[in-house]
Amino acid sequence: MAPTKRAEDSNGLMEMSWDPITRIVGSLGIHTKIDFKQKRVAECYSTSSVFRGYSVFMRGKDPRDAHFITSRICGICGDNHATCSVYTQNMAYGVKPPHLGEWIINLGEAAEYMFD
């Protein structure tokens, strides 16, 4: 898939956008700034035009239950929502998982990716 937009900024970073990626529910968009000289991604974020209402579903709930609740909102990519919830809980509570813990999360993500 070719990017829908390309432009170089004053810092020599190439801005590239793929928006919309229509095979994703919600018309996902990926926006990047890439430094091809240094061979690194300087910035990358995604956008979606569909409101799923995670904040509404989580209102009044214990934040520690976020991965159980958000993983069931979407019938396709529950693992990704659970993983993101775990990452945000870790950030909110200041938890730093051990290196092996990160590997376990990544292995689970890889297994879900192959399943999907």
pLDDT tens-digit map of 68-87:
888 887 777 778 888 888 88
Question: What does pLDDT average to over the chain?
Answer: 83
pTM: 0.54
What is the predicted pLDDT for the residue at 33? 93
Instruction: Using alpha carbons, list the distances in angstroms from residue 78 to 8, 66, 84, 107, 113.
Output: 36, 12, 10, 15, 11
Query: Residues 69, 33: one domain?
Result: no
Query: Residues 85, 60: one domain?
Result: yes
Read off the pLDDT of residues 3-25 as tens digits, 9 standing for 90 and up.
Answer: 666 777 777 899 998 887 776 66
Tokens 């809980």 found at? 89
Exposed / middle / buried, residue 55 (Cβ in 10 Å: 0-12, 13-18, 19+): exposed
What is the predicted pLDDT for the residue at 4? 67
Domain that holds residue 103: 54-115
Query: Residues 80, 110: one domain?
Result: yes
Cis peptide before 98 (omega within 30 of 0): no
Number of domains observed in the structure of the chain? 2
